[in-house]
Chains A and B, each alone.
Chain A
Amino acid sequence: MPALETKFLTLSYGSDLIIDQLNLAIPKEKITVLIGSNGCGKSTLLRSLARLLKPQSGSIILDGYEMTKLPTKEIAKKLAILPQGPTAPEGLTVLQLVKQGRYPYQNWLKQWSEEDEQMVYRALEATQMKSLAERPIDSLSGGQRQRAWIAMTLAQGTDTILLDEPTTYLDMSHQVEILDLLFGLNRTEKRTIVMVLHDLNLACRYADQIIAVQNKSIFAQGKPEDIVSKEMIRAVFGMECEIAVDPLFGTPLCIPYGKGRYVKGTTRHATPVETT
């Protein structure tokens, strides 16, 4: 059984159709990455998978249950979402933030059970935020900040975690650090991870499955090495490129054409012209 499934899912913003009649399955315990050009609807799709956006028609199935029939707190125990670029109020500490991941398990009398404490502690440990627990979020670096938010979603104790561009605004070393963290969570704790990523090459490295969103639907879905090709990139991103093999991991590496400086002795390549 897939972790998440959509059946004839149609999404729209006002009168704009974003996703049309989509059938999709997100495998359990795997890393799935959504890719696509800006404004193709991948973030919208991710938000709807987390019930943040009401589908116009069709249904989303979580662990075999239709989502609209589950109480929102029950969904929150199975699935966590980290939206893009979240902001914390001034002065809020890491611990105060991570604690709030326990919201679905608490009520106004039971606000800090032993289980809450253990889960928060484990989330801080897993993200290496324990030593920074008392620090205000706004005093942290971008990478640390993102780790704090991930710790909050971890404290929610869900099997599935959705993340919308978790590496935006981070420099390359912190991008790798965050993705390594998520990869580790997936491999050691078997958490299902679904995320939107912009960096195609990192997506190919970490994803078990890539879903390329284009024209209100899915253009291709599968292992990166099976589906990433010149033709796919052209169709999804409208860009010409060559596909090489990552010398470290053997995963596909996308090298775009375009203008730029050539080092002496390199053969010049003109951007291929589409012949359709």
Chain B
Amino acid sequence: MSKYLPIRLKKLPISFLLDVRALLVFVIFSFLTLIVIILSIGMGEMNILPVDVIRALFGAGEDMHAVVIQTFRLPRIIIGFIVGASLAISGAIMQGVIRNPLASPDIIGITAGAGAAVVTFLTFFLDEKDNSLTVSIGWLPVAAFMGATLMALLIYGLAWNKGVSPIRLVLVGVGLDAAMQAVITVMMIFGPLILATQEKIWLTGSVYGSTWQNVWTLLPWFCFFLPLMFVFARNLNIQELGDDLAKGAGTAVQRQRFILMLVSTALAGGAVAFAGGIGFVGLLAPHMARQLVGSAFGALLPVSGLIGGLIVLLADLIARTAFSPLDIPAGVFTASIGAPYFIYLLYKNRNM
């Protein structure tokens, strides 16, 4: 058992079994993320050398660099990372609760719920005279978040039958996802044409135009739920063995399931509020993480988060540099890797 390191505090009743390999993977990906962040800050309309990036970050570089980095690139990159990490952790939790590797917030309809809410919001508050919104655009994330949360509650409520079973959650979720896609289509077809492009970009998912205000809203939210994942990891582990075993080992299965779905929704909701419907990250990242560190959630959740963050960072880097001066929604690139990967997963799991 050399792969594991027991950690015990002498005076306090605190003890853990540390998976050394997982820790190593986590450290490597942390470094990788840091490197991508620095490279990513430097790349764009104006290229800045990594050295100058680091200098500027510590407030020692040229003023011009500082402005570009501080006002435009840094908030966008931070939002991109948090969004990716949130979606990935949310997806990992959902895959554990539903006991199906094909689950994720965008597949059971949470993202679509947010999308329907956003499209409705834009259509409803459009001032037809001058094509501007009658309320502040700052309410858009609120609408998205509420859409996601209401959707999750609806799925949960409809799946309820003396408790919620994983299979009912998936079936109800996939069904409601289709219904929400229909709502979105109807709204876009019958709504004003002027909104269609904006809506389509939102639905594809983009971190374009992220501000520090966005960062200061999303970051505390993310940081609140982050430590919770270590609290709930062991509950997820045991839920994955099936309801009977989890109950037999003394878990309050239904209560834990509700809390886990709540955390998963909160993270996904926060992400879609600021980046729209970036797809496949919640599905992809936990899978890659599972290949690297196995199925135990104590290691799987943090590594998924890192990988998810990295995926969105890279997707957005390509999105804003590859076709410059065009700024393509990052969701285009997560989907173009995600869709083939999803098909591969379906193929791999065809016997399940």
Contact = CB atoms under 8 A, between A and B. Distances in A.
B15 A80 contact: no
B46 interface: no
B252 A47 contact: no
Contacts of A109: 12-15
A87 B241 CA distance: 6
Contacts of B240: 88-89, 92
Given A100-B237, A110-B15, A91 B295 contact: yes
Contact of A100 (B16, B241, B244): B241
A74 B1 CA distance: 30
A136 B293 CA distance: 12
B249 A156 contact: yes
Contacts of A116: 15
Contacts of B340: none
Nearest to A95: B1
A123 to B, nearest CB: 14
B247 interface: yes
B249 A103 contact: yes
Interface in B52-105: 96, 99, 101
A228 interface: no
Q: B3, B8, B231, B248 — which one has the most chain A CB atoms within 10 A of its CB?
A: B248
Interface string A88-125: 11111101110111011010111111101100000000
Contacts of A87: 241-242
A72 B250 CA distance: 5
Contact of A103 (B1, B244, B250): B250
A83 interface: yes
Interface residues of B, number: 35
A93 B296 CA distance: 9
Interface string B256-295: 0000000000000000000000000000000000100011
B17 A112 contact: yes
A80 to B, nearest CB: 6
A112 B294 CA distance: 19
B101 to A, nearest CB: 7
Contacts of B158: none
Given A83-B242, A108-B231, A99 B17 contact: yes
A32 to B, nearest CB: 18
Contact of A111 (B12, B15, B241, B294): B15
Interface size class of A (residues with CB under 8 A): 35 or more
B230 interface: yes
A239 interface: no
Nearest to A93: B294
A112 B250 contact: no
B144 to A, nearest CB: 31
Nearest to B101: A90
B238 to A, nearest CB: 5
B249 to A, nearest CB: 4
B234 A111 contact: yes
A73 interface: yes
Contact of A114 (B8, B245, B247, B251): B8
Nearest to A105: B250
Interface string B186-216: 0000000000000000000000000000000
A39 B316 CA distance: 57
5 contacts: A74-B250, A87-B241, A99-B17, A109-B15, A133-B1
Interface of B: 1, 3-4, 6-8, 12-17, 96, 99, 101, 230-231, 234, 237-238, 240-242, 244-245, 247-252, 290, 294-296
Interface of A: 47, 50-52, 72-77, 80-83, 86-93, 95-97, 99-101, 103-104, 106, 108-114, 116-117, 133-134, 136, 156
Ordered nearest first, which 6 A-B pairs have the shortest CB separation? A76-B250, A73-B250, A104-B250, A112-B17, A83-B244, A81-B248
